[in-house]
Amino acid sequence: MYYAISEALLLYSAYLPGSWAFFNPLHHSGPASPYFDAPSVFGIPFETPAGCIVEKAAYIVRHGARFPEPGSFQGWQSLFAKFQNATYVASGPLSFIPSWVPPIDDQPHEPLFMTSAGANEAFSLGAQLRQRYGFTKGGDNLTVWTAGQQRVIDTATHFLRGYLSQGDYLSAPEFNRGNLVILPDSVNTTGADSLTASAACPAYSGNDENEWLDYEYAHDLNYYYGSGPGNNLAATTAFPWVKAITNLLVAETNSTVENGSFNPSPLLMGFTHDNNIPPVIAALGLLNSSQEPGVFPLSPTTPDPRRTFRASHLVNFLGHISLERLSCEAPLAQSVQHIIGQLVPIPGNGVHARKFVRIRVNNAPVPIPSCTSGPGASCPLADFAHHVNGQLAARAGDFVERCGLTSVVGAPDVVDFYVDPESRLANTTQLLLVIDVPGGPST
């Protein structure tokens, strides 16, 4: 919701003297920050390690940028009234203020819904992941999963449009289609089988500059103790998703997953809300430890610059967590001989390749505590599965029991919607990309 004044803020940040000269307030605005790649605070390169390929990847993504909530918009209107009901001189990077109006031109509809910037973010992510992984050949379809609120559905839709934008398939209705599996949003009838599982856990509660940095830290505390590692039920609500993804990463092919009736793509995309991202961090045991004492748990009063849990790097618009399965062999030598007609295989495709798991948070690699022996500080796949099924499972506990659902007959305690798209409450819809093609079909 900061897009209306982002340019001015950037100008203002450049205007500040001394060490503040390069301070970008949009990178310290918590859940209101536009998407940006998180910094590599652990010193791990962003690139896929040499000698490795990514075989599978799973993402859980917050929706793209939206207009403010109605309550926040009232604050914008109050600010506008103050600007207009005062006499002042605005100069320099703030000279825009006398002309500024709240950037909403459809008040009954736009608050809470996606902005054009959010649509562009989602489209760009789709195009980037299609290029990064190369999982989907031209003309193939892709299924993604999304929570049911409109801004989340719109994010998934624009992601698919970006992901499937490669090639000219507009006049071929059978090709290049996206399927959305829309899951119920913020209801208490789905149990763990949801992308908003915290809403189905009755026992769970998400509410247990230098001023600008204090504002940022307030968001850090809100998410750390509200829905992240500082909430002892956060890991419980997200562990079923982590377990389901681990099963798919371990399976040689996705169709071998127990009880699976659907063989999903190597790219698993789930779209949700900001408060459903930190629980995944908690369930994975990330961003909650330090070699230096006193950093975690976060102090309620004193920000520690050494902390790695930062809301601006995690729950900004389109913020996401991804788990990648790497297949690795010895990298190619600096000099590689080519023989006519013989394609040199890319390392990672061989039968003796070893498997590893790497986790990214807003694209930045994050190490799994005590499991960093693989390329690029990744974790051997077998060790990762053991970690999830052992220590992390014990820490999370039983979803139904800890959430107070033992009296609910048949309350799901696992996530199975990735391999069973006919989930009892899910709605599957096909995204048609054909739009008034001359001489062709139109929808």
**pLDDT in the model for residue 54:** 98
Do 106 and 120 lie in a common domain? no
Which two structure tokens, joined as six digits, stand for 1?
Answer: 């919701």
Size (the chain), residues: 443
Do 150 and 181 lie in a common domain? yes
What is the per-residue pLDDT across 262-291, written as a single tens digit (0 to 9) for each?
888 999 999 999 999 999 999 999 999 998
**pLDDT in the model for residue 434:** 44
Helical pair 116-133 and 150-163, crossing angle rounded to 10 deg: 40
Lowest mean pLDDT among 77-81, 241-245, 251-255, 282-286: 251-255
Q: Is residue 253, in this structure, part of any structural domain at all?
A: yes
Do 232 and 263 lie in a common domain? yes
Residue 279 near residue 201 (C-beta atoms within 8 A): no
**pLDDT in the model for residue 17:** 38
**How far apart, in Å, do the first and last CA atoms of the chain sit?**
33
Residue where the block lists tokens 């839709």: 157
Residue 222 near residue 207 (C-beta atoms within 8 A): no
3-class secondary structure per residue, 91-153: CHHHCCHHHCCCCCCCCCCCCCCECHHHHHHHHHHHHHHHHHHCCCCCCCCEEEEEECCHHHH
How many domains does the structure of the chain reveal? 2
pLDDT surpassing 60 at residue 425: yes
Run of H or E residues at 58: strand 52-62
Give residue 26's identity as a one-letter amino acid code.
L
Integer Cα distance of 272 and 274 in angstroms: 7
Do 218 and 146 lie in a common domain? yes
Asked if omega into 45 is within 30° of 0 (cis), the reply is no
Integer Cα distance of 77 and 74 in angstroms: 5
Which two structure tokens, joined as six digits, stand for 368?
Answer: 């799994």
3-state secondary structure at position 377:
helix
Do 167 and 302 lie in a common domain? yes
**pLDDT in the model for residue 19:** 43
Integer Cα distance of 409 and 405 in angstroms: 8
Kindly list the distances between the CA atom of residue 175 and the CA atoms of 126, 144, 179, 417, 431, in Å, as whole numbers in the listed order.
Answer: 17, 16, 12, 24, 11
Kindly list the distances between the CA atom of residue 80 and the CA atoms of 2, 25, 45, 71, 104, in Å, as whole numbers in the listed order.
Answer: 15, 21, 44, 15, 12
pTM of the model: 0.90
Beta strands in 184-266 (DSSP E): none
Confidence band for 166, pLDDT divided at 50, 70 and 90: confident
Residue where a domain terminates, one of 76, 95, 112: 112
Average pLDDT, the chain: 88
Q: Is residue 441, in this structure, part of any structural domain at all?
A: no
**pLDDT in the model for residue 254:** 66
Q: Is residue 44, in this structure, part of any structural domain at all?
A: yes
pLDDT surpassing 70 at residue 435: no
Do 285 and 255 lie in a common domain? yes
Domain that residue 170 falls in: 33-66+113-431
Do 287 and 311 lie in a common domain? yes
Backbone angles phi, psi at 314, to 5 degrees: -135, -50
Q: Is residue 437, in this structure, part of any structural domain at all?
A: no
Do 96 and 127 lie in a common domain? no
Q: Is residue 436, in this structure, part of any structural domain at all?
A: no
CB burial of residue 258 (10 Å; 0-12, 13-18, 19+): exposed
Residue where a domain terminates, one of 87, 112, 137: 112
What is the per-residue pLDDT across 85-96, written as a single tens digit (0 to 9) for each?
999 999 998 999
Do 265 and 303 lie in a common domain? yes
Confidence band for 440, pLDDT divided at 50, 70 and 90: very low
Instruction: Write the DSSP assignment of 274-292 as a string of letters.
Output: GGGSHHHHHHHT-SS--SS
Do 95 and 147 lie in a common domain? no
Q: Is residue 442, in this structure, part of any structural domain at all?
A: no
Integer Cα distance of 137 and 348 in angstroms: 19
List, by residue number, the catalytic residues.
63, 274
Do 318 and 273 lie in a common domain? yes
Confidence band for 309, pLDDT divided at 50, 70 and 90: very high
Residue where a domain terminates, one of 77, 92, 112: 112
- Is 443 or 237 the better-scoring residue by pLDDT? 237
Q: Is residue 120, in this structure, part of any structural domain at all?
A: yes
Integer Cα distance of 401 and 413 in angstroms: 9
**pLDDT in the model for residue 239:** 98
* Mean pLDDT calculated for residue range 422-435: 66
Which two structure tokens, joined as six digits, stand for 83?
Answer: 């600007």
Q: Is residue 443, in this structure, part of any structural domain at all?
A: no
What is the per-residue pLDDT across 31-44, written as a single tens digit (0 to 9) for each?
999 999 999 999 99
Confidence band for 422, pLDDT divided at 50, 70 and 90: low
What CATH number did the domain enclosing 368 receive? 3.40.50.1240
Residue 144 near residue 180 (C-beta atoms within 8 A): yes
Do 196 and 312 lie in a common domain? yes
